[in-house]
Structure 1
């Protein structure tokens, strides 16, 4: 139990905050739907509860992924966060379907008049404020993980350029809350339009749009985490580490270099060619030096370095300079 509590303290904080915020919003939106019968409010209720469950699972997964390697799992538990994200999107997919189905029904058979417009608008306004705050927090975390400076509210727009460098949990929270904020604004607008124009079908149309946006997040998150669960190479870091290794005058060539994403972490495996006349003791010192340099790079938690005899031929070509049809040996 003590170990679990320690792990939970290191879980992804934005996802935990978003889980509580969305649970609260789901409850008040559910109450508003009960009193008003507004289908746009139903869509937002489903959206909030789906995001809450999703983000809570992601928080647990991000915490467990930091568990230290064991004899049974020597590579560690980093990919747990990817597996949890894959499970979490199933929940969102089901709720997305229900949201679209309810919206379609309302589009074909719109209610004559929604009740309690001020209740609905008040709840949605609270949702816009809270979701925007969580989105801003997630954006700041994205920039922090990418090594960038935060920029106040401009952090949200700035974060789009660095999403691919964010941790899986942070990226998921940012995307979900972006859609949630947009969904609140759409539902707010739909209720106003329906009230002043009498076009009741717009609430069903907005419900369908919100459900489709949820499906977009499902698809994006599924693809990203499926690659992570299989074991995706970080190409940018691979090229960077190759430069660091070849900057060492004792390394003549790289036979093989792998930089694999293990959840939020990177594992590096290197086979390098060295002068066969160098002593084992000297090469061991070189390995220690390279290991220290590589471990100092952001996200790298494990390094394995092996040597091969220099064959006098250069076989490694940097990723940025490699022709499309040339593979790394």
Structure 2
């Protein structure tokens, strides 16, 4: 039990914050839906419950992925966070379907909703809270890539570095981006419906919100499927190649793999050296390279192999 609590402390903090905030928002929207019957509110309620469930799962997965390697699992549990994210998107997919289905039903059979001010107030509170979580997730993204997160940078620069973020942080950011956009869309639909009498607008908003959720499902599924299989980090691969070739004792690189293991990076490199080197000299090179590679952000495992120089340039 002590080990479990220790791992939970290492879990992705933005996902835990988002889970609690979205749970509160979901129940707030649930109460508003019962009072008003607003179908756009229903869509937002489903969205928030889906996000909350996802983010709780992602937090637990990110924590368990920090578990140290065992004899049975020598490469550790890094990819567990990818598997959890894959499971989490199934929940969002189901809720997306229900949201779209409810929107279509409302388009066919529009029902006048009540409680205009209640709907608008609840949605306004939700948007503010979602924007706060989005800001925190954006700040975490910039922290993960080593960029200053001052001012409004978390809401502007984070988009450019989204692909380099950890899987859990990326999922939270994308879900809350859609949640914030969906909340604003639902507010617009409520206002138009109230003043124009066109109840179908709320159904249309529900369909659009559901489609936005499906977009998150598709993108997150593909990215975490690649991570679960074992995806190469091309940027870090180039950085580590530069580090290795900068050593004057290295003649060439035969093979270099930088595999994403969830939030960690596993590095395997096969280098060519002068065949006349002694074992002690080769060991010094190995220690020197390991030290430099381990200083790279996210690297938790390094395997270095040696081969004699074949006088043929292979690494480009």
TM-score tier, shorter chain, comes to over 0.9
Please give the residue correspondences for 1:1-329 in structure 2 after superposition, counting only pairs within 5 Å: 1-111=1-111, 113-317=112-316
Whole-Å separation in 2 of the counterparts to 1:122 and 1:304:
56
Which blocks of at least 5 consecutive residues in structure 1 are unaligned?
Answer: 318-329
- Partner of 2:152: helix, strand, or coil? helix
Distance between the aligned counterparts of 2:81 and 2:281, measured in 1? Answer: 40
Q: Deviations over 1:206-252 (max 9, x none)?
A: 00000000000000000000000000000111111111101101110
> Residue deviations 1:141-197, cap 9 Å, x none?
011101111132342121000001100000000000000000110111111100001
Aligned length: 316
Q: Which runs of 5+ in 2 are unaligned?
A: none
Distance 2:150 2:109 in 1: 46
2-structure distance, mates of 1:131, 1:94: 22
Let me know the Cα RMSD of the aligned residues.
0.6
- TM-score normalised by length of structure 1: 0.95
| Structure 1 ranges of 4+ moved more than 3 A | none
Distance in 2 between residues matched to 1:43 and 1:4, nearest whole Å: 35
Q: CA–CA distance in 1 between the matches of 2:32 and 2:12?
A: 31
Q: Distance in 1 between matches of 2:157 and 2:295?
A: 26
Structure 1 residue 76: Cα displacement: 0.6
SS for the counterpart of 1:303 is strand
- Distance, in Å, in 1 between the alignment partners of 2:149 and 2:278 is 48
